[in-house]
Structure 1
């Protein structure tokens, strides 16, 4: 079967087409299971065209990680404005849900455990994860500071609890794809109220 080729399609459009397919592949299957051949087949283009755009399989994977990381970091950064700890936590969840509502596989791409350690893709993903963790740690420090607590170990513990809580909530939502983002925000609000807004 002849491939679609690039005639009449701009480089930006073709790149977006490839990234859309690759993003879904990496999000659903994980780094270890994705092949350039399958991405090319689904995008109806040739493997050499993908290599000409992204250089390598890792170049394609890095482009997907960059997209996921940019979206999530920007979304969470924009949500860190409310002084109230409970409201800020809920705003953070809402920002993450909004990103994933538009780009469902962003979390799976960024937090893919099959990305090989020591690879450029892993280093890039780790950098974005570190940015998100730092924002969470800053929020945790603010909660403790307002409570008059300056214990660095308490800070470290709360930052870890928050990071694991976010991961658990997002993973749970991804396991329930029928639930809309706004429904998840409302669900998180109910849970935070029931817990007394501890985070």
Structure 2
């Protein structure tokens, strides 16, 4: 990745601040429009810098994407691992702990979920390989969690865990979609909402409506 030796960006903005501005704009562009449809020119225009300056800071479009992806990939993995490892009296069920960790890790940059799960990444590219690495690592954690839940419930068919893992990813994606459309909802509010939804689902599934 290309770098500048100057400590300041354009118009007296410190380099570190300018980099944060660029990354924030890039995350929104990649998250909203996808890698393929996002242009470096659009990101530069949002920040008010030139394309050459952006390239000097972050290199190519792919380098900029990776600069957006890597921090959130690490942050999500660490948050999910910590949530799954949490035990003790009074602890929430594992799915709710993981969802709370997800919302907390994404707070402030919710679109990064769709930077990670971007179907428009060029096949075989470094960007696609890196995103797949994080997605596979998250899927591995989901597989462990769903298998443990089904084992506790007495389920024996291994395909049940695989089906639930895919359903879980879809649920997380749907909830983040909804969260983006409701920006006033805090991570705490989303966690409480999920708790209510899980409780309602359990009641619906265990209620005998034939009576």
TM-score higher than 0.5 here? yes
Larger radius of gyration: 2
Runs of 4+ in 1 over 6 A off after TM superposition: none
Q: Provide the residue aligned with 1:29 in structure 2.
A: 33
Q: Provide the residue aligned with 2:108 in structure 1.
A: 102
SS of residue matched to 1:102: coil
1:13-63 deviations in Å (ceiling 9; x for gaps): 432232122122212222122211222222222222222232211111111
1:9 aligns with 2:14: yes
Matching of residues 62-77 of structure 1 within 5 Å = 62-77=66-81
1:80-105 deviations in Å (ceiling 9; x for gaps): 12459961111111111112222222
**CA-CA distance at 1:117 after TM superposition:** 2.4
> Aligned partners of 1:136, 1:156: CA distance in 2, in Å?
9
Q: Is the 8 A contact 1:40 1:46 kept in 2?
A: yes
Gaps of 5+ in 1: none
Q: TM-score, normalised by structure 1?
A: 0.84
* CA RMSD in angstroms, aligned pairs only: 2.5
1:155 aligns with 2:161: yes
Q: Provide the residue aligned with 1:196 in structure 2.
A: 202
Q: TM-score, normalised by structure 2?
A: 0.80
Residue from 48, 53, 63 that aligns with 1:44: 48
Q: Is the 8 A contact 1:68 1:109 kept in 2?
A: no
> Aligned partners of 2:164, 2:13: CA distance in 1, in Å?
54
Q: Provide the residue aligned with 1:61 in structure 2.
A: 65
Q: Provide the residue aligned with 2:121 in structure 1.
A: 115
SS of residue matched to 2:93: helix
Q: Is the 8 A contact 2:110 2:176 kept in 1?
A: no
Q: 1:182 to 1:7 in 2, by over 3 A?
A: closer
